[in-house]
Amino acid sequence: MSHLPFHPTGPATGTCAGEQLRRLRRQAGLSQMQLALLAGVSQRHLSCVETARAKASPSTLHALLSALDVPLEHCNEIFLAAGFAPRYVASGANAPTLKMVSDAVEHILQANNPAPAIVIDSHWNVTAANASTGLLLAMVGIDANGLSGLNLLDTLLRPGGLGDHLVNADEIRAIAWQRAAREALSNPELARRLRDMPGAPAVALNTTPAPVVLTRVRSSYGELNFLSTFTTFGMPLDITVESLRIEHLIPADGETWQSMNTAFSQWQVSR
């Protein structure tokens, strides 16, 4: 089996909108015909836009960027490069317009107990978590007091973090690295974080991923097995909202459910 290290880069700066679209299309593995069909434009017009022989309208740019699933912050950069005003704003965490989102996130986190759930932003920083997440960390001997300042990539990839307590650490670290590397293509800060990671796992080539991957945790309660799922917000128009996602660690067997239930019940009694 061959391995190739991945060296992520952020979005190019100082390039025209067409060049950026062409780079994003190639990164997505799409031909001009495939992207044109997805976006509802002609292949000829897309070719002219990519080579700067034609200027895309705002609606065409929006269709192309949506088809490529480009993050909103990067969409703003391309709109600017095309000579248009940015379309999306980034609200502050305490903005009144985000209160509904904040309330919904808090409800989801609490409803997940006794299963761990965390909120991470586009840089993989943990911005919120439920009580069961702290309990899981305590089960493996990690201080949960600094949970709000934790970075999920750091704790998975750096020595001394959660990754050291995973039975299948190599598998989970490789999956996390691959996902972050894809996201880093349009996120310079995340790209810098990955470049600074010590001993980043290699990306395996010519391998078929398993349909279900368990996160297997070695804890004081024995081995705990979790399925990982993500919740994101549909059709966000705000950069801050788009960047948030909730990771749920769902107990994958009866023993893990029982262990998390016991720990959560004991925590409730001790409050």
Domain boundaries, the chain: 3-81, 96-270
pLDDT tops 90 at residue 108: yes
- How large is the average pLDDT for residues 231-257? 85
Q: Which of 18-32, 65-79, 136-150 has the highest mean pLDDT?
A: 18-32
Class of domain 3-81 as given by CATH = mainly alpha
Angle at 108 between CA 105 and CA 110, to 5 degrees: 110
- Residue 10: which pLDDT band, with cuts at 50, 70 and 90? very low
Spatial distance between the Cα atoms of 224 and 238, rounded to a whole number of angstroms: 37
Which of the given ranges, 130-139, 146-155, 224-233, has the highest pLDDT on average?
130-139
The pTM is what?
0.71
Q: Evaluate if residue 216 carries a pLDDT over 90.
A: yes
Band (pLDDT 50/70/90 cuts) for residue 179 is confident
- Which range, of 2-11, 47-56, 152-161, 250-259, averages the lowest pLDDT? 2-11
- Domain 96-270 matching CATH 3.30.70.380: the answer reads no
Range list of β-strands (E), the chain: 3-4, 117-120, 126-129, 203-204, 214-219, 222-231, 245-251
As beta bridge partners, residue 225 has 216
